[in-house]
Amino acid sequence: MGEDNVRRWPSSDVLMGAIGYGVVVATLYIMLFGNAFAFAGANDDAAYASGLASLAAILLCVVASLWGSDWLTRLGTRKLLWPSSCILMAAYGAAAWASSAGLASEALSLGLRLVSGAAVGLLMVVWSDYVANQTKATLSMSFVIAFATMGVGMVSVTFLDPFSERIALAAATLLSAVFYMTISQGIKPSRFVSRKESADTLHLNMRSSVSYAITGLVIGNAICLLSRTMPLSYALLTLGFGVLGSVVVSCVLIKLKRGSWLLLGPVERFTFPGLIALLLVAPYSSGAWGVVLAVLLLTMLFVRDLARIVNRALLATEFECQSCYLYARTALPFFIGIGGGFALGVIANAAVFPVAEVVCSIVMVVFLSVGITVMPYGADPLTMPLAQLPEAPSDENRIGQGLWRRACESVAREEGLTPRECDIFQILSHGRSANVIARELDISVYTVKSHMYNIYRKLDIETQQDLIDRVEDERMRIKREVEEPHVRL
């Protein structure tokens, strides 16, 4: 991605969309790890059970969306906006009324969590259209703003009393619905693409799904273990600061690395050592130091989560696919991971032996290590999306084609690429993926990825877009050399 998508500030529509989307995601985490539906006198076991119930409802919605994505797309996902928003606001209102009237019970809390979990799951499906209709020019900063909104929301609710918190969450739900209605006018309907067509086009494999699931696993486990040493409200506060920390880190990386950090593969690699170190040290830390380590751990995890969402949106700009299918297909492993991590945390919290937390951290380290080993460079479209071809060469301009080919040959010669690497380099410069190159050259996709790794290493670059930019710079240099004699004449 070029410089424009980093420096250009989002328009008012994109800004409203980012805030609205951030509110919905914040609501999801508050529901899972907060106490919005917990009544006075409820114990931790009831809170854990209610959190798992909310997650089960969300998972059912995601699975149903994946299975019925064709029907939902034909119906129009935006038609679910007001029904799901009204159900969620009614759940908050019922919780506030029951608490003030003294009618609160664990059964009511569980029922409200199930209903609200289903409503939030449907809202996430509705907002999938917004995520899929981002432009490359604004998507990075849009999701940074969404995560900033999400972090501020989670931090803010922890300072409210239960009644005010429920009223604030109901108002935030209404605000996000209004924002969506405002921006939805700019979301143009596209050609209907079936779930099967989307699956065939995207060619998503299990590698990125494993990565998504492991990130969710560690997030769910970290929050559950945090609640062992502090009330759920303070655990949510720590989670909010972790999200805000990921926003700061992301902004710094965007400034330093432009858009190349957004690829899921590089993000996996540079966060891996820090996550391992923090997971191994965290069980032995307590007090203020333990909270600081927890915030750092969550910061790294949410940098990965931000890259996950950005890559999903970027994938939607590169391929003609169904937004509902793309959302459900990529969100399902993440929510399954959160559920697994939360369940492991509950087991560790219930264990009587003192090393349970240490064992749990070691399990997380093992999962992260497995994840990093099954995700080689460019193993999945989500880890290395296709890059847009610059405007330079066109099919009707033979001179432009010749300059582009000369530029590729010049760069390849300068960097000492082998003949096979030269072949792959030229196809890469036209924005093709590893799977496409493998089909064109009739070789294994893993062989292609191995050559791609060597090419990137020799050129000292990180992404396919960096490669295209390098060729474009060389093309412009050759063009100036060709034109200068005519200018002097």
Q: For each of the chain's 489 residues, which pLDDT tens digit applies?
A: 343 434 445 677 878 999 999 999 999 888 887 777 766 555 555 666 677 888 889 999 999 999 999 999 988 888 999 999 999 999 999 988 888 887 777 788 888 888 999 999 999 999 988 888 777 667 778 889 999 999 999 999 888 888 888 899 999 999 999 999 988 876 766 678 888 888 877 777 777 788 889 888 998 888 777 766 666 667 788 889 999 999 999 888 777 765 545 566 678 778 889 999 999 888 887 777 888 888 999 999 999 888 888 888 877 777 778 889 999 998 999 999 998 988 888 787 777 666 777 888 898 999 988 877 765 544 455 655 444 433 434 444 444 456 778 888 889 888 888 888 888 898 888 888 887 787 777 777 778 888 888 899 889 888 888 898 888 888 888 877 765 544 444
The answer for residues whose C-beta is within 8 angstroms of residue 70's C-beta and 6 or more apart is 194, 195, 322
Encode 281-306 in three state secondary structure. HHHHCCHHHHHHHHHHHHHHHHHHHH
Q: Which of 435, 422, 420 is nearest to 386 (CA)?
A: 435
Q: What is the DSSP string of 441-452?
A: HTS-HHHHHHHH
Q: What pLDDT was estimated at residue 393?
A: 40
Number of Cβ within 10 Å of residue 111's Cβ equals 16
pTM for this one?
0.74
Q: What pLDDT was estimated at residue 274?
A: 92
Question: Residue 5 in contact with residue 259, Cβ under 8 Å?
Answer: yes
Q: What pLDDT was estimated at residue 108?
A: 83
Burial of 161 (0-12, 13-18, 19+ CB in 10 A): exposed
Give how far Cα 320 sits from Cα of 64, 78, 136, 323, Å. Answer: 22, 20, 15, 9
Give the homologous superfamily in CATH for domain 4-373: MFS general substrate transporter like domains (1.20.1250.20)
Q: What pLDDT was estimated at residue 227?
A: 64
**Could you tell me the residue ranges of all domains in the chain?**
4-373, 398-488
When the candidates are 1.10.10.10, 3.30.450.20, 3.30.420.40, 2.40.30.330, the CATH number that belongs to 398-488 is: 1.10.10.10
The answer for residues whose C-beta is within 8 angstroms of residue 71's C-beta and 6 or more apart is none
Q: What pLDDT was estimated at residue 383?
A: 56
Residue 104's region, left for phi above 0, alpha for psi from -120 to 50, else beta, is beta
Q: What pLDDT was estimated at residue 385?
A: 47
On the question of a common fold for 4-373 and 398-488, the answer reads no
